[in-house]
Structure 1
Amino acid sequence: MRLRPIHLTLIATLIALATWHILNLTGVLSPIAPTPQGVAKRGWEILTDPFYQRGPASVGIFWHLTASLGRVAAGFAIATAIAIPLGLTAGLHPLIRTATEPFVQILRPVSPLAWLPLGLALLRNAESTAIFVIVLTAMWPTFLSTMEAVRNVPTTYLHLAQTLGTSKTATLIHIIFPAALPAIATGLRLSLSTSWLVIIAAEMLVGGRGMGFFVWNMWNRLDTNAIVIAILIIGVTGFILDAAVNALEKALRHD
């Protein structure tokens, strides 16, 4: 029988589960460490009752997930609305590109969590601060991809447009932007992944509803089995988001 990738995945999963179980039984892991049986039981409890609401923070996993996705959608949309026009402008004008480079090189490496205290001080609102942090960290991949894509538009296209007397606005809309679109989609994919990573960390500190808050709350209760379930949900959601943008990117490249 020929092994397929799915077979290797199943074998690796079974080996990992067996090793995990043995480490728990032999006492190698901490007494509060999650167990395969505990994760399965807790997962059933969490996933079979995802919609309950017993208070502002005591809600089912569905509401935590939608809260995180809502913040990501808002932050990602704002970051995109800022990054693409700035990237187009910087790509078209070398002077602006040179002027903005120091800001990009200084601000881009800053840890997302470093912005949280400043955001809280400026906005005095946890929800707005979480979105603020997403915007500041997610805009850079799209900005840089857009700028480089515009710079690398084939000069043949531009010369042909100039020869035909095409206006600058028409050249931007009908030539430069479509040519740069596949690379912009790549930047959007990276920005979306960054947004999802950032919001989980931010929610651990700003509180309220959200997957990050759920993880931190479960840690305070020493419910590590629930944390594993949350990690799996976060990972699957991130995979779905990435796959959606990847499909868009492939469609644009195909076109």
Structure 2
Amino acid sequence: MIRRFFTTVLPFLLFLLLWQTVALLVEAIREVPFPNPWQTFVKLGRLIAGEPLADALLYRHIGDSMYRWLAGFGSATVIGLLYGLTAGVCRRLELATGQIVHLLQLIPGLAWIPIALLIFGLGEPATIFIIAMAAFPPVAITVLAGVKHLDGTYLRAARMLGAGKRSLFFQVLLPGALPATISGLRLGLGNSWRVLLAAEMVVGTGTGLGYSIVESRWNLDYTGAFACLTIIALIGILIEYGLFRPLERTTLKHYHLEGGPLK
């Protein structure tokens, strides 16, 4: 109980204390309003109750942002998994395309904005493209690394036992690459979530959490902007602890790889 307090509740309380301190210092030194935790949570409550933000309800902004993120991140995950698993067993494909994927990894996600605008113009497709390009490289690279570092003894043993290509894929390659795959998904999640919000600020989507932050700034509604930032953080925490960690525990346990980091 005490350990859980120090690892969960105490960091949250320290963060709120730091936030309140920064708000007081900014207001005292610069004499400009800086939303504190209480003001932000009150504003968040009003938004949840139905107060409009940037000409739309909060639920519309959240839903549109989640749709764009799922479309971009989902596409990047599928393509990255297929590429990583295929290139991991096909040396020629890795030699032909590996450097290109690593080059894409070096390109900041926001650098894709002008390219997306040239190809798709303003709107949803450009945002989804930016998200996918930011999430694809870490997923592809980590899955490829997971397959390459798989102990060849398992593959040879499976072949000696008569395993076909389908069995090798689902019972050897995929389970062996799972720890690296989940790590890649986490990296892709972080990249895509950050790029989503920035893209919504620039690409002109008309709705979304990133768009709401920009509109709140222009309307001098800084409390609304901080409420959006709070929602963004809560969604990220929910995805990490409600999706990725249970997924990791379940998959590692199912494939008898309980020695993973989240035992």
TM-score by length of 2: 0.85
Secondary structure of 2:107's counterpart equals coil
Amino acid at match of 1:209: T
- Pair 1:167–1:115, CA change in 2 (3 A): same
| Residue 163 of structure 2 is aligned to residue 166 of structure 1 | yes
Structure 1: gaps of 5 or more residues: none
Displacement over 6 Å in runs of 4+: none
Which residue in the other structure is 2:119 paired with? 122
Is 2:212 the partner of 1:210? no
| 3-state SS, counterpart of residue 32 of structure 2 | coil
User: Does the Cα contact within 8 Å between 1:186 and 1:249 map onto a contact in 2?
Assistant: no
Deviation at residue 239 of structure 1 after TM alignment: 0.8
Deviation at 1:12, TM superposition (A): 2.2
Work out whether residues 192 and 242 of structure 1, in 8 Å CA contact, stay in contact via their aligned partners in 2. no
Which residue is equivalent to 2:260?
none
Count of residue correspondences: 249
Residue deviations 1:57-106 (CA, integer Å, cap 9, x gap) = 61111110111000111111111121111101111122221222221222
Aligned residue identity for 2:47:
I
| Per-residue deviation, residues 7-31 of structure 1 (Å, max 9, x unmatched) | 6346525633552454256x21341
Partner of 1:67: 64
Asked whether the 8 Å contact 1:82–1:139 carries over to 2, the reply is: yes
Distance 2:18 2:188 in 1: 32
User: Structure 1: which amino acid aligns with 2:228?
Assistant: A
Gaps of 5+ in 2: 255-263
Tell me the residue number matched to 2:29.
28
Preserved contact between residue 20 and residue 36 of structure 1 (Cα < 8 Å): no
* Alpha carbons 1:64, 1:210 under 8 Å: kept: yes
Identity within the alignment, %: 29
Shift of residue 189 of structure 1?
2.3
> Equivalent residue for 1:250?
249
Q: Which moved more, 1:185-194 or 1:163-172?
A: 163-172
2:176 counterpart (170, 179, 188) = 179
Aligned-partner residue type, residue 182 of structure 2: A
Q: Which string of whole-angstrom CA distances, capped at 9 and with x for unpartnered residues, describes residues 167-210 of structure 1?
A: 33432233212222232122222212222111011100112110
Alignment match of 1:87 (pick from 84, 89, 101): 84
In the other structure, the counterpart of 2:104 is 107
**CA RMSD, Structure 1 to Structure 2 (Å):** 2.3
Structure 2 distance, partners of 1:72, 1:121, is 21
The aligned residue for residue 39 of structure 1 is 40
One-letter amino acid matched to 2:225: I
Partner of 2:17 in structure 1?
15
Contact 2:16/2:37, CA 8 A, preserved across alignment? no
**Residues 67, 210 of structure 1: 8 Å contact kept:** yes
Q: How far, CA to CA, are the matches of 2:23 and 2:160 in structure 1?
A: 71
Separation in 2 of the partners of 1:198 and 1:167? 41
Distance 1:67 1:11, change over 3 A: closer
* SS across alignment from 2:106: coil
Letter in structure 2 aligned against 1:205? V
1:196 to 188, 193, 196: 193
Structure 1 equivalent of residue 224 of structure 2: 226
Q: In the aligned structure 2, how far is the partner of 1:151 from the partner of 1:227?
A: 45
